[in-house]
Structure 1
Amino acid sequence: MADNNTTVQAAADQGDSKLSLDKQDATQNTASEPDEQNKSNRKRWLRSLAILLIVIAIIYGIWYFLVGSRHASTDNAYTNAESAQVMALVSGPVAQVFVSDTQQVQKGDLLVRLNPDDQKISLAKAEADFAAAERKFGQTSASSDALSQAIVAQQANVEQAEANYLSAQSTYHRAETDYNRRRSLVESGAVSRDEMTAISNALEKARAALLQSHAAVDQAHAAKEEAIGNFEANQALIKNTTVSTNPQVRAAKAALDQARLDNSRLEIRAPMAGVVTQRQVQVGQRVNVGTPIATIVPIEQIYVDANFKETQLGKVKVGQTATVKSDLYGGDVVYHGHVVGFSGGTGSAFSLIPAQNATGNWIKVVQRLPVRIALDPKELRAHPLRVGLSMEADIDLSSKN
């Protein structure tokens, strides 16, 4: 009986042990099912991510082949313009100022007026000098006739002096002959000594008259040469000229024209249409030639200087179309333009202290070259820009140049 109980007890214990093992196996199977699920989900997610990346790479490759490789873009771009610096061209005090900073002006608008008193005096003096030059030319022309007559008169004096010289020469020869003939008779007593003295005095007198007449001839010739010189000097001032082509008259006329020009420059006007900036004069201030008055910025002629990397410029050509966006208006406003040229050098090449690359610690840095882009004037009028604004530029490399 005891053995039976023992057997029953062993069977029961064996049954309980088997039941416990079954429960443990069930628990392990239940725990492994989520792990398998997580691994499956992770693999699925990784597979999806890989597919997505491949799709993105394919899309980017297609975009770059069709679009990206045909465009060069940069956000390192700024607006600029060929501003006009207005300067005073004559000296004088400022009488009136008609503009202020930020004011829009048109070409020819009056900016500043200078006091005219100084220029009026200069103009009056130039007019007087011009009139005096014309009168002097007329006087010189009239003097030529008088000097010509003076030459004729001096020629007559020369002829008269030469005739007097011939007469004095004849008188001297006659006196000399009488003297020689009577001197041989003095010893014989045929001619008295008193008579001989008189004849000797007559000879000396004739010699003196001859010398005097000879000097008169030389003087007459000198006077004639002087008259000829005066005539030629006078003719040199007016020869082959008229009152309008005479050098002195033309010089005086040029001075008069300069005075009139300076008088017209008392009113300083805008050389172009644009916006007034940096006005530097006030009423009462005295300005000299070259004094800055103001700067005119032509906002309808603004262009863009886009600083592209040198690696982007291989296919950029003059004439290619470009689109530009401004930080001022955002992406809603797009400007259209075209490439008009390239700068002669990079920014670092023209900096105050150029880069010294010939050193041992040199590091290569990609340089940027300014590219000028002209904008559509109609779009500029619709959405005005100012100098120095930040821009984003994109050049269509596939466009015809």
Structure 2
Amino acid sequence: MTDTPAVDSETPAAAEGRPATRRKALRILALVVVTIAALWGIWYFLTQAGRVSTDNAYVGADSAAVTALVSGPVKEVRVSGTQAVKKGDVLVILDDADQRIALADAEAALRQARQRYGQASANADAARARVSARGADIAQARARLRDADAAVAKARAELARREGLAGTGAVSGEELTAARTAFASASAARDLAAAAIASAEATRGSASGDLGAAEAVVRGTTIETAPDVAAAQARLEKAQLDLERTIIRAPVAGIVTNRQVQVGQRIAAGAPIMVIVPIATAYVDANYKESQFRKIRIGQPVELTSDYYGGDVVYHGKVIGIAGGTGAAFSLIPAQNATGNWVKVVQRLPVRIALDPKELQAHPLRVGLSMEATIDTRGK
């Protein structure tokens, strides 16, 4: 019995089918790759096109520096660093002994000024009464002058009659002498009455001058608008304000940082004692390259993430401002690009981004934290 040769199990038809199957698989793979690329392109065009990003962004806030407005020793410190405070909360209390003494002195000065004004008003009334009295004296002196004129006229007539009869012997020398004496006496009384009028008028003039001086102090004013009273009132209000300022309150709500005050320390007016960071109104300053600004506009929406919370927390904000110059332009020593060893450096321009207050309240940030900001330049 002879051995028969082994027959190859792979037929020619199967051998020819392998390349066709490989080509079909490659076509399917190419189709899948093209589909994935097309889908990625559509996704990028719909979601990523027109978006500019930077990780050179940091949280900022308009911090409030708390300063003492009056000097004095520190009596009590009610807050510590990192403590959250509300607007109006008491931060520091100063010893107010000096301010209370100044307030009492200002109150006494105001009472004294009011008293002086009352005296000046009374003096004006008294001067006015004296002027009226001198007017009455003048009227009385003029009446006496009229009586004296009448007496002079009568004495002159008696003297003339007796002098006319003296040559006839009907009038004795004694009667004639008496008539002449009466006339001289009446003339003297008239001169005295005229002098009394002049004296009364002079006295009234002096009284009028005193009245003018007294009225000048109170003319056109009341006890509230008199200069001395108003100045004393202003000093009193300042003393009251200084007393109120011995209690230092939080100007804004935020977190206390950089506390520099201790109990017993004497602080001067204007000395900074702490800083309050209003984290509820924090913003982000994102520094974009100058080549990214072609489509950046104010009001465009922004998405932000923070290393503090990770990528799971996304903040939403909008562009509210673009700086007027780069950081290099306003640095202490600006770059001198006119030198021969100039090397071009891509500059960055700060963009101010406002955050959603509700998101900021849910996930508070701290000043100086790093952020990643993406502006959708397709937004208006």
TM-score, normalised via structure 2 length: 0.72
Q: State how far apart, in whole Å, the 1-side matches of 2:339 and 2:271 are.
A: 45
In the alignment, is residue 76 of structure 1 matched against residue 53 of structure 2? no
Letter in 2 for 1:396: D
Displacement of 1:247 in angstroms is 2.6
- Aligned counterpart, 1:235: 215
Q: Distance in 1 between matches of 2:117 and 2:124?
A: 11
Deviation at 1:361, TM superposition (A): 3.7
**1:388 lines up with 2:371 in the alignment:** no
Instruction: Name the counterpart of 2:355.
Output: 375
Return the alpha-carbon distance in structure 1 between the equivalents of residues 78 and 322 of structure 2: 39
CA distance in 2, matches of 1:293, 1:222: 70
Amino acid at match of 1:328: Y
Q: CA deviation at 1:236?
A: 2.2
Give 1:60 shift.
7.7
Matched with 2:65 is 85
Q: After alignment, is 63-72 or 111-120 more displaced?
A: 63-72
- Hey, what does 2:287 align to over in structure 1? 307
Superposed, 1:33-182 pairs within 5 Å as: 65-155=45-135
CA distance in 1, matches of 2:199, 2:322: 83
1:358 aligns with 2:341: no
Partners of 2:90 and 2:131 in 1: how far apart?
A: 62
Shift, 1:234, TM fit:
2.0
Distance 1:219 1:92 in 2: 65
Aligned partners of 1:52 and 1:309: how far apart in 2?
37
Residues 66 and 144 (structure 1), Cα distance of their counterparts in 2 relative to 1, 3 Å cut:
same
Q: What is the rounded CA distance, in whole Å, between the counterparts of 1:343 and 1:384 in structure 2?
A: 25
Hey, what's the Cα distance between the residues in 2 that align with 1:138 and 1:130? 12
Partner SS for 1:243:
coil
Say which is worse superposed, 308-317 or 89-98, in terms of deviation. Answer: 308-317
Aligned pair in 2 of structure 1 residues 369, 56: CA closer, same or farther (>3 Å)?
farther
> 251, 275, 278: which one pairs with 1:295?
275
For residues 354 and 158 of structure 1, what CA distance do their matches in structure 2 show?
90
Whole-angstrom distance in 1 between the partners of 2:33 and 2:333: 47
- In the TM superposition, what is the alpha-carbon distance from 1:58 to its structure 2 partner? 7.5
RMSD: 3.7
C-alpha offsets along residues 77-129 of structure 1, whole Å, 9 cap, x if unaligned?
00000111111111211100111111111111111001010011011011111
Correspondence for 2:180: none
Residue number among 323, 329, 333 corresponding to 1:349 in the alignment: 329
Q: Which residue identity lines up with residue 307 of structure 1 in the other structure?
A: N
Structure-2 change in CA distance of 1:357 and 1:102 (3 Å): same
Q: How far is 1:63 from its partner?
A: 6.1
**In 2, distance between residues paired with 1:339 and 1:261?**
42
Q: 304, 307, 315: which one pairs with 1:335?
A: 315
Counterparts of 2:234 and 2:312, CA distance in 1: 59
User: How far apart are the structure 1 equivalents of 2:141 and 2:338?
Assistant: 95
> Aligned equivalents of 1:293 and 1:218: distance in 2?
76
Provide the C-alpha distance between the structure 1 equivalents of 2:197 and 2:31, rounded to a whole number of angstroms.
130
Q: 1:253 pairs with 233, 237, 262, which one? A: 233
Q: 1:233–1:64: structure 2 CA closer, same or farther, 3 Å change rule?
A: farther
- Residues in 2 aligned to 1:359 and 1:219: alpha-carbon distance in whole angstroms: 98
Alignment length (residue pairs): 318
| Residues in 2 aligned to 1:247 and 1:54: alpha-carbon distance in whole angstroms | 92
> How far 1:242 sits from its partner (Å)?
2.0
Letter in 2 for 1:111: L
Q: Return closer, same or farther for 1:161/1:360 CA change in 2, 3 Å cut-off.
A: farther
Q: Structure 1 CA distance, aligned partners of 2:241 and 2:234?
A: 10
* Alpha-carbon distance, 1:69 to partner: 3.6
- Residue 26 of structure 1 corresponds to none
CA shift in 2, pair 1:361/1:128, >3 Å: same
Name the SS for the 1:95 alignment partner: strand
- Asked whether 1:266 is paired with 2:232, we answer no
Structure 1 letter corresponding to 2:378: S
Normalised to the residue count of structure 1, the TM-score between the two structures is: 0.69
* Structure 1 residue matching 2:334: 3-state secondary structure: coil
CA distance in 2 between counterparts of 1:113 and 1:99 reads 11
Larger Rg: 1
User: Residue by residue, what CA displacement relative to the aligned partner does 1:318-354 show, whole Å, maximum 9, x if unpaired?
Assistant: 2211111111222122111111111222111221122
Query: Is there any run of 5+ residues in structure 2 with no aligned partner, and where?
Result: 1-29, 153-186
Partner residue in 2 for 1:196: none
Secondary structure of the structure 2 residue equivalent to 1:393: strand
Taking the aligned partners of 2:144 and 2:335, their CA distance within structure 1 comes to 97
